[in-house]
Amino acid sequence: MTLYIRSILFLLIFGIVFIFLSCSNSYVDKVDRSEGYQYRPGFPELRVVASGYIDENDDAFINIASEIVYASLVFKRKDNVNKADFNITYEILNLDKPEEIISAKEFPIQITDPNNSLSNNQSTYRLAKNFEVSSGNFRIITTIVDNNSDKEISRTSEVFIPSIDGEQSNITNIRIFKKSKGSDSEYYPTTTYDIQSDIDSLKFVFQVTNKSTDADLTINTRLIRFKSDTSIARPMTYNNYTPSTIEYKGIDYSEETEINTNRRVLTNKGNVTVEFTFPELERGNYRFEVSSNLGEEDELFKARDFSIKSSSYPSLATPRELAQPLFYLMTEKEYEKLMAIDNDEDLKKAVDRFWLSNIKNSRIAKNVIELYYSRVEEANKQFSNYKEGWKTDQGMIYILFGPPWYVDKSSVSEMIWSYSYNFSDPEKNFLFISPTINNKYFPFDNYLLQRNNYYYNISYQQSQLWRSGRIF
């Protein structure tokens, strides 16, 4: 084979690969996963989702739905009642004209707590605002300032609204609404990737702008569930996960189960709103897809990924939810015996017995229990991905040892948590490695602990500190 022919073949192969990668990246960019909880201790917990839509008059709007966790706000005594006092600001920027600020509005909000029940309440205050805009690409910056603590936090979202007068058909972003159980409940937007399982149903809403009058536009939808890891992090002294296992991969996007498929033909030109409602879904990781094959180059595609977590997520409420994290403190036989209890009342008594039989002082036991489960909840907020945060390797270490003294993240694929000023101490420094995932869809920051036998002593000592109440 001549050098010339080899050069031509190389260029052809390179071009094909380049085109494939470009298409793949474009395809991946159309998968919306929303945000995680983005928890920062001591700051207001702000969860935001922004979406664009076109109303019946063909006017374009941006809807910004916000949720603020009550317990993350500071309540102060004013006029003989506890009050939270904060400002929330929405700033909308036109990305097609980077210098143009469409809107910047601030809303002062006060929340009264006459029964002093909200300061530890993990439920949320909901706020939704609509802003009229034109079609295009937008960036939304939502900022909350807690006036009682002077703490501030911001969240950034991006929205695309197709042009009504454009020449091409298009699909808006997919919005997910959830409805709580109860006859008087209403649908409200989901603000995160994670959705509590204690819901009545989910509703998916999107809009299609059909520009063609010569041919029908076929819209295909799919609700699929991916195989994913649900296991609790294995002990620190066990073998490491092997790359072929689901525990290593986290999610296998190549192994999917179709929950629902649908096909709808649009015959009229104009903007059409499409809705699909599904009853309560099992826990797991899902994708709702919308597509229309106008042609290989003109294919329309949008998708929304989401995860169904536990009923009270990120909090723990049921006896089984309280029992499961004790895996990190129990022997294998103790845990198997505990989880074999089917009756909720008996399970709750067994959990209480575990703590009180080991910690003889009820006051100390109360403080230890509060600390342990607060760490479980914080782990859910900080490390959740395809599974609850407390089940992850980082969650396990965080629950047992608390926040690391020092974090070394000098490498993209590695991270070290130190619980000692001696960075060479193998028992007090934990190495986490990010798995090598050859899948363009994998969106999560996931780190796996590099396990070793020399962790036996410190893991045993730490569990005994918890069991005896000497953790403080």
Read off the pLDDT of residues 181-214 as tens digits, 9 standing for 90 and up.
Answer: 876 789 999 999 999 998 899 999 999 887 766 6
Which whole number is the average pLDDT over 129-154? Answer: 95
Across the chain, mean pLDDT equals 89
pLDDT of residue 34: 82
Q: How confident is the model at residue 9 (pLDDT cuts 50, 70, 90)?
A: very low
Pick the CATH number of 165-309 from 1.10.10.10, 3.80.30.20, 2.60.40.10, 2.60.40.420: 2.60.40.10
Count CB atoms within 10 A of the CB of residue 100: 11
Question: What average pLDDT score do residues 345-364 get?
Answer: 96
**Where do the structural domains in the chain lie, given as residue ranges?**
1-32, 35-161, 165-309, 319-468
Lowest mean pLDDT among 76-80, 209-213, 239-243: 209-213
In CATH, which superfamily holds the domain spanning 35-161? Immunoglobulins (2.60.40.10)
Instruction: State the average pLDDT over residues 140-157.
Output: 96
Q: Are 35-161 and 165-309 the same fold in CATH?
A: yes
pTM over the 0.85 mark? yes
* Percentage with pLDDT > 90 across the chain: 70
Q: Report whether pLDDT(58) > 90.
A: no
> pLDDT at position 270, please?
79
**Residue 385 in this model has a pLDDT that exceeds 90:** yes
pLDDT for 272 beyond 90: no
At residue 16, the pLDDT reads 37
Flag whether pLDDT at 369 surpasses 50.
yes
Percent above pLDDT 70 for the chain: 91
Q: Is the pLDDT of residue 27 over 60?
A: no
Taking Cα atoms as reference points, which of 36, 253, 44, 25 lies closest to residue 143? Answer: 44
Tell me the mean pLDDT in the region 78-82: 89
pLDDT at 7: 42
> What are the tens digits of pLDDT across the range 308-333?
999 899 999 999 999 999 999 999 99
Of 244 and 439, the structure prediction assigns the larger pLDDT to 244
Nearest alpha-carbon partner for 250 in 240, 241, 259, 258: 241
Environment class of 271 (CB within 10 Å of its CB; exposed 0-12, middle 13-18, buried 19+): middle
Poorest-pLDDT segment among 18-27, 56-65, 248-257: 18-27
Dihedral sign (CA 254, 258, 260, 266) = positive
pLDDT at 469 over 50: yes
Under the banding of pLDDT at 50, 70 and 90, the label for residue 3 is very low
Q: What is the pLDDT of residue 29?
A: 66
Note the pLDDT of residue 215: 72
Q: Of 5-9, 244-248, 320-324, 407-411, which gets the smallest average pLDDT?
A: 5-9
| pLDDT at residue 409 greater than cutoff 80 | yes
Q: Which residue has the higher pLDDT, 261 or 100?
A: 261
**Whole-number Å distance between alpha carbons of 240 and 322:** 27
Question: What pLDDT was estimated at residue 390?
Answer: 97
- Residue 266 binned pLDDT confidence (cut-offs 50, 70, 90): confident
Between 413 and 333, the higher pLDDT residue: 333
